[in-house]
């Protein structure tokens, strides 16, 4: 009899629990909670033996449509530029007002204001306003802003570069509500940062990240004050990489991108950018005049506060190449198995550098002298085409230069022979390319339905947004 009553009691409990559940669901139906991140959760409530209401998350879905912005200033030697990007939650680029990036620039660069650091910072105000207009007001405080100074500021003596950067930090803190994460967000980039950011940017736009290292492209970027080379190498090449000497930067950087590990050879050659190289070549010839300057021109060239004699002395491509070789220090001893120039290890070569994208002043000069079409943004070319253009340039008198090269800026005309000779020598004698080895000259890269500037700020923006997102999640 007692067993029968116990069974009846158990049955009643089993019956009452579902009834209680139904009652709870009737009074408090399944709850869908949403937050600012647009995550939706389905909660089911049950009653435990101690008569407490318990919530179980059965399903969590995310319809996250939020986006992130990043504002990056490129403070180069020839001018300052601003890049504004918008990313979705997968770090894919989104358009801003119909463009995949907002971009503008001003001249001269910050290093030109060495005697007036306040004016240096104020030169960015117009670019800052463009960035603020591009980013929705309610997202300003969560949008990271960075200022990366490159070779121009690196070359300034004393504390001048830091004084300029401090004025820029002050400007951003007082006149902008963008997110300045730390004082290091306004800094001089080292060569490894600049080169690796650009490699990431170009391979990101090409859709190569996450693939085998041999499916990525190598990058050479010729700026005003420095030139960078970066490409992925094999793990074996990494294990055999030389230990940098005192004062040298590390040659290889390990990085993880989209689930793949890359060993990235990066080197920045300070003083070998195009504007710095003019000074280097003119320094070789000194007061005697230069065979790299167009016949008929007499003048001076000032770089980083130093003035050089830029008068012509028998313009000749043959003689100019000898000057370029001296400026590149090709005869310097090489302590490694393979060197580029100035005694620098070349990374060992390999498949990661077999497909080379070459940008900045390489693209600009090629477009100006006419062997590629500027409107194409990207073009196949050969180093030998720089030599062919240099042959014509070095035979041209200064008085005829504007008609022969109508697309070259007037201020650059006296140096067009020098520039083209140096670019050819850098590619062939410096980096060891064959004259008829195919390269890709690049200004912008096709991405989705638009074109994006092939520049290091995109790589920095990807890092900034990723870091900002990680920081925000850690605070939740």
Residue ranges of the annotated binding site for ATP are 224-228
Residue recorded with tokens 């001089």: 188
Give the separation between CA 394 and CA 416, rounded to whole angstroms: 8
Where does 283-349 show beta strands of DSSP type E? Answer: 300-303, 306-309
State the catalytic residue, choosing from 101, 167, 194, 463. 194
Decide if 194 is catalytic.
Answer: yes
Instruction: Using alpha carbons, select from 264, 192, 278 the residue that is nearest to residue 228.
Output: 192
Using alpha carbons, list the distances in angstroms from residue 313 to 64, 75, 216: 66, 35, 44
Instruction: Using alpha carbons, select from 251, 427, 217, 209 the residue that is nearest to residue 348.
Output: 251
Instruction: Using alpha carbons, select from 386, 391, 412, 388 the residue that is nearest to residue 401.
Output: 412
Could you tell me if 114 and 150 are in contact, meaning their C-beta atoms sit under 8 angstroms apart?
no
Query: Across the strands, what pairs with 73?
Result: 82, 147
Give the separation between CA 124 and CA 116, rounded to whole angstroms: 14
Where does 10-112 show beta strands of DSSP type E? Answer: 31-34, 39-47, 53-62, 68-75, 80-87, 93-94, 102-106
Give the separation between CA 473 and CA 142, rounded to whole angstroms: 13
Number of residues written out for the chain = 476
Q: Which residues are the active-site residues?
A: 194
């Amino acid at each position: 009899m007692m067993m029968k009553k116990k069974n009846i009691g158990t049955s009643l409990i089993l019956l009452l629990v579902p009834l209680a559940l139904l009652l709870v669901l009737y009074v408090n139906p399944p709850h869908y909670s949403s937050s600012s991140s647009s995550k939706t959760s389905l909660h089911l409530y049950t009653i435990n033996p101690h008569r407490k209401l318990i919530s179980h998350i059965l399903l969590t879905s995310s319809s996250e449509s939020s986006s992130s912005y990043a504002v990056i200033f490129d403070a180069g030697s020839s001018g300052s530029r601003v890049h504004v990007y918008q990313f979705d939650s997968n770090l894919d680029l989104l358009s801003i007002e119909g463009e995949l990036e907002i971009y503008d620039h001003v001249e001269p660069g910050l290093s030109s204001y060495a005697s007036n650091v306040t004016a240096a910072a104020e030169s960015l105000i117009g670019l800052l306003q463009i960035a603020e207009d591009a980013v929705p007001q309610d997202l300003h405080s969560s949008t990271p802003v960075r200022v990366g100074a490159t070779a121009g500021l690196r070359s300034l003596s004393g504390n001048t570069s830091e004084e300029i950067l401090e004025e820029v930090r002050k400007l951003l803190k007082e006149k902008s509500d963008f997110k300045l994460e730390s004082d290091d967000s306004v800094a001089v980039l080292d060569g490894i940062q600049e080169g690796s950011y650009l490699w990431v940017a170009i391979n990101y736009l090409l859709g190569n990240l996450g693939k085998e290292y041999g499916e990525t492209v190598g990058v050479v970027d010729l700026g005003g004050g420095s030139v960078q080379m970066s490409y992925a190498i094999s793990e074996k090449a990494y294990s055999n990489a030389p230990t940098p000497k005192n004062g040298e930067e590390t040659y290889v950087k390990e990085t993880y991108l989209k689930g793949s590990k890359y060993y990235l050879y990066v080197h920045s050659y300070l003083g070998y950018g195009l504007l710095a190289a003019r000074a280097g070549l003119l320094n070789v010839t000194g007061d005697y005049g230069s065979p790299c300057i167009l016949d008929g021109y007499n003048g001076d060239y000032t770089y980083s506060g130093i003035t050089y004699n830029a008068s012509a002395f028998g313009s000749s491509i043959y003689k100019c190449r000898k000057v370029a070789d001296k400026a590149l220090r090709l005869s310097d001893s090489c302590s490694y198995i393979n060197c580029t120039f100035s005694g620098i290890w070349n990374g060992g070569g390999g498949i990661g550098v077999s497909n080379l994208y070459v940008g900045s002043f390489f693209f600009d000069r090629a477009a100006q002298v006419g062997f590629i079409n500027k409107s194409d943004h990207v073009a196949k070319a050969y180093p030998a085409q720089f030599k062919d253009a240099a042959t014509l340039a070095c035979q041209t008198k200064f008085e005829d230069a504007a008609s022969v090269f109508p697309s070259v800026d007037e201020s650059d005309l006296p140096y067009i022979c020098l520039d083209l000779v140096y670019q050819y020598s850098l590619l062939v004698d410096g980096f060891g390319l064959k004259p008829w080895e195919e390269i890709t000259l690049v200004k912008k890269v096709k991405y989705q339905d638009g074109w994006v500037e092939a520049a290091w700020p995109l790589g920095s923006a990807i890092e900034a947004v990723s870091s900002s997102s990680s920081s925000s999640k850690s605070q939740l």
